[in-house]
């Protein structure tokens, strides 16, 4: 599973946590948001209330369930992602 939709596969920050294109919904045991995540997820089109995380900034320590939403930044919760 790619954390990027469409053109975001090529147009992204390469893991620096500044673009937000790898935002996804995560269920499982994760630590708190780091400084970069807090900053980026409070900047449009995201908002921290959407409970999204940046795939490039999370440290996986156990099994997780991930859901990628539609939109360039994965910000469109509730919309069907047009991926195989």
In a domain, 52, yes or no: yes
Contact 54, 17 (CB under 8 A): yes
Reading the chain (84 residues) residue by residue, the pLDDT tens digits are 789 999 999 999 999 999 999 999 999 888 899 999 999 998 888 876 678 999 999 988 899 999 999 989 888 887 766 654
CATH number assigned to the domain comprising residue 32: 3.10.20.30
State how many domains the chain has.
1
Spacing of C-alpha 70 from chain mean position: 11
Predicted local distance difference test score (pLDDT) of residue 50: 77
In a domain, 15, yes or no: yes
In a domain, 58, yes or no: yes
In angstroms, the Cα distances linking 16 to 20, 25, 34, 52 are: 9, 19, 12, 16
- What is the token pair recorded at 53? 């995380």
Predicted local distance difference test score (pLDDT) of residue 35: 92
Which residues are CB-contacts of 10 (< 8 A; sequence separation ≥ 6)? none
In a domain, 38, yes or no: yes
- Cα dihedral 50, 25, 44, 21, rounded to 10, equals 180
In a domain, 75, yes or no: no
In a domain, 1, yes or no: no
In a domain, 74, yes or no: no
Q: pTM of this prediction?
A: 0.84
């Amino acid at each position: 599973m790619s954390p990027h939709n469409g053109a975001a596969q090529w147009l992204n920050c390469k893991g620096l946590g500044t673009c937000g294109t790898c935002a996804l919904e995560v269920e499982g045991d994760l630590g708190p948001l780091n400084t970069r995540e807090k900053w980026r997820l409070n900047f449009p089109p995201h908002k921290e209330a959407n409970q999204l995380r940046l795939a490039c900034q999370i440290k996986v320590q156990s099994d997780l369930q991930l859901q990628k939403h539609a939109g360039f930044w994965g910000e469109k919760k509730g919309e069907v992602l047009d991926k195989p």
